[in-house]
């Protein structure tokens, strides 16, 4: 079995932004993989195991929809 396997093309959408509360404090936030697409990179984890997919390889898909918010404090 080859180390790398061919994978189909994909796209993901991201939204990120910030708001300056002051010169030292910034509010940041966003959404990664906004439309929750399943995708796998050509070198992502593949597990040998029971035949979950044809060929007995189980793909570990990349994370789905992720929203985040935080404060950035500059010293």
Are 28 and 69 within 8 A, CB to CB?
Answer: yes
Would residue 2 count as lying in a domain? Answer: no
pTM attached to this predicted model: 0.58
Give the domain extent around 27: 15-36+44-73
Would residue 21 count as lying in a domain? Answer: yes
Give the Cα separation of 28 and 14 in Å (integer): 14
Q: How much of the chain exceeds pLDDT 70, in percent?
A: 57
- How many domains is the chain partitioned into structurally? 1
Strands of the sheet containing 25-32, edge to edge, are: 15-20, 25-32, 66-73
**Is residue 30 scored above 70 in pLDDT?**
yes
- Structure confidence at residue 31 as a pLDDT band (50, 70, 90): very high
What are the pLDDT digits (tens) for 9-19? 777 889 999 99
Would residue 9 count as lying in a domain? Answer: no
Would residue 5 count as lying in a domain? Answer: no
Of the candidates 42, 69, 45, the residue with the CA atom closest to the CA atom of residue 59:
45
Average confidence (pLDDT) over 36-54? 61
């Amino acid at each position: 079995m080859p180390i790398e396997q061919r994978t189909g093309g994909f796209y993901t959408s991201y939204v990120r932004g910030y708001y300056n509360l002051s010169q030292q404090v910034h509010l940041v936030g966003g959404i990664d993989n906004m439309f929750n697409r399943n995708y796998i990179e050509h070198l992502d984890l593949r597990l040998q195991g029971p035949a979950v997919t044809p060929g007995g390889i189980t793909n570990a898909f990349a994370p789905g929809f992720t929203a985040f918010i935080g404060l950035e404090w500059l010293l």
